[in-house]
């Protein structure tokens, strides 16, 4: 997830640090923009869920362009006079709050983020912006259990025989419990044991590398590729 500040530089560092201390989130998850075109371009190209904090005046410059973006989760207006933007909130459902007190604003965002992380989901994307899940790295992923999580895609930072190039990506199945040999949901049977072009042809997903014969792990040359493998696997499971 990414937190975008589009309110001018005045309170940025103070608000960012307060939020990160409260949530243990890395400051690298935050970005600040002064120009509407730069902010718009970043949101448009982002692959992560975005939380936007904007002044009312600046938000009006970009909201028509960004409101429909799937990656834009929610918008928070930070302004001097709340009543000036209440009508804007009525017209755009992704505006979750209007605040003139930065502490109230950041506390609301923190609560919504906590609820989002604790909600039941099918697919967990692990990256550097999830410090509370750091125990999942360094080959400890199989010993950790979260209810209702099926897969964990991540980019490799080292080379193995199966993924010989750094930056290639892996999708691994979550087990049913901390000590278990039963998968919650294996990768599709028709993919199991296939490699390279055979697997890409069968799945319709480019750049596939392999799926283990038991379906507990697979690889792709790109991070987007393993996400597509996970999403298509869920769709196939739901149709069976």
- Give the chain's domain count: 2
User: What's the pLDDT score for residue 85?
Assistant: 93
166: containing domain: 131-239
Task: Let me know if residue 148 belongs to a domain.
Answer: yes
71 and 102 part of one domain: yes
Q: How far apart are CA 39 and CA 49, in angstroms?
A: 15
Q: How far apart are CA 200 and CA 171, in angstroms?
A: 15
- Residue 32 belongs to domain with CATH number: 3.40.50.2300
51 and 20 part of one domain: yes
88 and 138 part of one domain: no
Task: Let me know if residue 165 belongs to a domain.
Answer: yes
Task: Let me know if residue 45 belongs to a domain.
Answer: yes
More confident residue, 108 or 154: 108
Task: Let me know if residue 126 belongs to a domain.
Answer: no
87 and 164 part of one domain: no
Residue 18 predicted with pLDDT over 70:
yes
Task: Let me know if residue 123 belongs to a domain.
Answer: no
User: What's the pLDDT score for residue 140?
Assistant: 36
Residue 9 predicted with pLDDT over 70:
yes
- Give whichever of 74-78, 118-122, 131-135, 171-175 has the largest mean pLDDT: 74-78
Residue-wise pLDDT tens digits, 118-170: 443 344 444 444 444 333 333 333 333 344 444 444 444 444 444 444 445 55
Tokens of 48: 């992560």
140 and 88 part of one domain: no
Task: Let me know if residue 125 belongs to a domain.
Answer: no
Task: Let me know if residue 56 belongs to a domain.
Answer: yes
What's the distance, CA 180 to chain centroid?
27
Q: What is the mean pLDDT of residues 44-58?
A: 92
86 and 141 part of one domain: no
201 and 223 part of one domain: yes
138 and 229 part of one domain: yes
More confident residue, 40 or 160: 40
Q: What is the mean pLDDT of residues 108-125?
A: 56
Instruction: Report CA torsion sign: 196, 199, 203, 209.
Output: negative
106 and 153 part of one domain: no
153 and 106 part of one domain: no
Tell me which of 20-29, 89-98, 147-156 is least confident: 147-156
89 and 147 part of one domain: no
More confident residue, 18 or 32: 32
User: What's the pLDDT score for residue 193?
Assistant: 93
Which of 118, 146, 169 is where one domain is finished? Answer: 118
Task: Let me know if residue 124 belongs to a domain.
Answer: no
Nearest Cα to Cα of residue 175 among 210, 215, 228: 215
User: What's the pLDDT score for residue 29?
Assistant: 87
């Amino acid at each position: 997830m990414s937190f975008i500040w589009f309110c001018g530089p005045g309170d940025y560092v103070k608000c960012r640090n307060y939020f990160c201390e409260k949530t243990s989130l890395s400051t690298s998850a935050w970005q600040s923009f002064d120009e509407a075109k730069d902010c718009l371009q970043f949101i448009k190209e982002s692959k992560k869920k975005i939380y936007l904090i904007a002044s009312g005046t600046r938000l009006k410059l970009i909201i028509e362009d960004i409101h429909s973006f799937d990656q834009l989760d929610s918008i928070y207006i930070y302004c001097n006079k709340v009543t000036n933007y209440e009508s804007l909130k009525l017209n755009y459902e992704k505006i979750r709050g209007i605040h003139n007190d930065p502490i109230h604003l950041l506390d609301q965002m923190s609560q919504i983020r906590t609820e989002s992380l604790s909600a039941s989901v099918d697919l967990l994307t692990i990256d550097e912006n999830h410090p509370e899940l750091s125990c999942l790295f360094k080959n400890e992923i199989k010993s950790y259990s979260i209810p209702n999580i099926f897969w964990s895609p991540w980019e490799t930072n080292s080379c193995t025989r199966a993924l010989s190039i750094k930056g290639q990506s892996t999708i691994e199945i979550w087990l049913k419990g901390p000590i278990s040999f039963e998968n919650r949901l294996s990768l599709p049977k028709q993919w199991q044991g296939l490699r390279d072009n055979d697997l890409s042809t069968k799945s319709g997903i480019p750049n596939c590398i392999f799926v283990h014969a038991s379906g507990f792990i697979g690889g792709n040359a790109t991070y987007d590729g393993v996400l597509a493998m996970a999403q298509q696997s869920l769709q196939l499971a739901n149709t069976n």
